[in-house]
Structure 1
Amino acid sequence: MISHSLPMQPDTCGYWFIVNHQQLYWPPEQQSLALMSMGELVALFGEPEQSGSLGELNGQAAYYWVLNDQRDDEDNWLSPRQLLAQGDGVFELAARAVQVALFLQTHRYCGQCGSAMHLVSWELAALCHRCGHRCYPRIAPCVLVAVVKDDQLLLARSSRYKAGFFSILAGFVESAETLEQAAVREVKEEVGVDIDQLEYVGSQPWPFPHSLMTGFIARYVGGAIRCQPNEIEEAHWFELDALPEVPPVQTLSGQMIARVQQRILGNKKAT
Structure 2
Amino acid sequence: MTTRFTGRTALVTGAGSGIGRATALAFAAGGANVVVAGRTAAPLDETVALIEEHGGKALAVTADVSRAADAQALVRAAVDHFGSLDVAVNNAGVFRGGAPLADLAEDDWHTQLDINVTGVFLALRAQIRRMRTQPAGGTIVNIASNMGMHTRRPGVAAYAASKAAVAALTRAAALDHIAEGVRINAVSPGATATAMSLRPGESEAERGERVRHQLPLGRVSATEEVAAAVLYLASDDAASVVGTDLVIDSGGSL
Same fold by TM-score greater than 0.5: no
Q: Specify the structure having the higher radius of gyration (Cα).
A: 1
Larger % of strand: which?
1
TM range (shorter): under 0.3
TM-score by length of 1: 0.23
Q: Greater relative contact order (Cα 8 A, min sep 6): structure 1 or 2? A: 2
